[in-house]
Amino acid sequence: MLIVTGVTNARTEAANTGIKQIKRTGRGYRNAHNYRARILALQT
């Protein structure tokens, strides 16, 4: 069933792309806290 609302998931896809980019380039994070902080900074 398709529900047409006129809403897209562009923001979610953009966030996922940004997180994946951080994951690819962030191999040098010393711990998970720094990785999480970088992701949260991306969202602001």
Give the global pTM: 0.60
Contacts of 18 (CB under 8 A, 6+ apart): 39, 42
Q: What percent of the chain has pLDDT over 90?
A: 7
**Local confidence band at 2 (pLDDT 50, 70, 90 cut-offs):** confident
Taking the C-alpha atoms of residue 42 and residue 12, their distance in angstroms, rounded to an integer, is 12
